[in-house]
């Protein structure tokens, strides 16, 4: 049911195919974030039209509503949602970071107070596995402790070691052959801790590995160092997933370090706030200069939004709080990301990734800042 095959390497960048029970993912690939089993403001048919291959959903949020047992009775995420492609589920480890004010952590796991109604919910490595087995995603994640950065060295070391202990418990609890369980490398920006975390997880022989605990406050040069350090340590023949990163510049850099899978809320969240990613820099559709602008958001973009809607119309919809605005803007931003990954993959297959990356970074640098393309 599963296979991972590298088609071509271009320096450290890889183009590969990841076969899952619900389809093949051509990597490097970006996963739109569908936290509660849906990507906000867009339908599955729209996601398919713009080239989404695999979606991410979240254990913690689906536990709260509708509940993992309901999802299981409905045929898992695929039967419940109708999405026919692969799913990946996060374990809830990110909420250890993002909901720090609503949780209590100990060696056994985490007690969350629901952000919806304050009700208590206990997540342990075993419970995270049970929920994800109920959800039935193709790729599932070990439960980890994610810290904000910077953090005291002793706290980073403790979280790193606890993540390894929890990974062992996840490995022992997980029992579905139609899922791949990925371990998560932690350790902050401490390269020795990162290496120790990776090597201890390698002993557990996960079918793939994620790099967590980045894009949580650390300087970008430190993130680059971590990725470069882990690149020769992580197995070449297994998929690699960088969690929660990030901007187009971040993604271009990470692909160059041999990362295969990515997710980030940035394109969808920014779209709902009226911020668009374009080939000429970022664009805030709220700006008064677009009140009578008949141009598409990005003249070089082939997405359904740019083919049909003007900046003036999108600005009107957004300022009027029309639901259609979120849909059209989200479609554009996701297309921008997915198209960038399609072009990155093609450049690797042609042996031209360095040229592609340098050209893309030059364009982004020349158009740095919101609306600098004007």
Can you tell me the distance from the alpha carbon of 44 to that of 78, in angstroms, rounded to the nearest whole number?
12
Tokens 């579905």, residue located: 176
Q: Which of 224, 216, 370 is nearest to 284 (CA)?
A: 370
Q: Which of 80, 11, 6, 2 is nearest to 352 (CA)?
A: 11
Can you tell me the distance from the alpha carbon of 32 to that of 39, in angstroms, rounded to the nearest whole number?
7
**Is 263 annotated in the active site?**
yes
| CA 254 to mean position of chain CA atoms | 13
Phi and psi at 332, nearest 5°, equal -65, -50
Query: Mutual orientation of helices 248-255 and 353-366 as an angle, nearest 10°?
Result: 160
From 90, 138, 250, 298, the catalytic residue = 90
Can you tell me the distance from the alpha carbon of 131 to that of 71, in angstroms, rounded to the nearest whole number?
10
Cβ-based burial of 312 (10 A; exposed 0-12, middle 13-18, buried ≥19): middle
How far is the first Cα of the chain from the last one, in angstroms, to the nearest whole number? Answer: 49
| CA 367 to mean position of chain CA atoms | 25
Provide the token pair at 281. Answer: 């820099």
Say if CB 314 and CB 325 are below 8 A apart: yes
**Is 293 annotated in the active site?**
no
From 10, 138, 144, 263, the catalytic residue = 263
Q: Which residues participate in catalysis according to the annotation?
A: 90, 263
């Amino acid at each position: 049911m599963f296979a991972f095959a590298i088609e071509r390497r271009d320096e450290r960048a890889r183009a590969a195919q990841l076969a899952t029970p619900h389809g093949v993912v051509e990597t490097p690939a970006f996963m739109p974030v569908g936290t509660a089993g849906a990507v906000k403001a867009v339908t599955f048919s729209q996601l398919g039209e713009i080239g989404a291959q695999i979606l991410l959903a979240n254990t913690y949020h689906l536990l709260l509503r509708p509940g993992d047992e309901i999802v299981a009775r409905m045929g898992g995420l695929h039967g419940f949602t109708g999405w026919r492609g692969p799913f990946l589920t996060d374990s809830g480890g990110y909420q250890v970071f993002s909901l720090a004010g609503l949780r209590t952590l100990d060696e056994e796991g985490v007690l969350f107070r629901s952000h919806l109604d304050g009700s208590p919910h206990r997540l342990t490595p075993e419970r995270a596995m049970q929920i994800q087995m109920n959800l039935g995603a193709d790729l599932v994640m070990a439960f980890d402790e994610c810290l904000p950065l910077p953090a005291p060295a002793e706290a980073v070391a403790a979280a790193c070691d606890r993540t390894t202990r929890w990974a062992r418990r996840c490995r022992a609890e997980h029992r579905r052959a139609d899922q791949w369980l990925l371990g998560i490398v932690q350790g902050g920006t401490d390269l020795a801790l990162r290496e120790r975390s990776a090597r201890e997880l390698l002993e557990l022989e996960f079918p793939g590995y994620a790099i967590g605990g980045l894009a949580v406050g650390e300087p970008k040069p430190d993130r680059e160092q971590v990725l470069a350090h882990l690149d020769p340590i992580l197995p070449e023949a297994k998929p690699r997933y960088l969690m929660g990163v990030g901007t187009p510049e971040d993604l271009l850099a990470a692909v160059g370090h041999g990362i295969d899978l990515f997710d980030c809320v940035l394109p969808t969240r920014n779209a709902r706030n009226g911020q668009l990613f374009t080939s000429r820099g970022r664009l805030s559709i709220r700006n008064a200069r677009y009140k009578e602008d008949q141009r598409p958001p990005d003249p070089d973009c082939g997405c359904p939004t740019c083919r049909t809607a003007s900046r003036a119309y999108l600005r009107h919809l957004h300022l009027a709080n029309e639901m259609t605005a979120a849909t059209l803007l989200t479609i554009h931003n996701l297309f921008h990301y997915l198209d960038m990954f399609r072009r990155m993959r093609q450049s690797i297959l042609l042996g031209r990734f360095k040229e592609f990356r340098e050209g893309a970074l030059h364009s982004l640098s020349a158009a740095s800042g919101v609306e600098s393309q004007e």
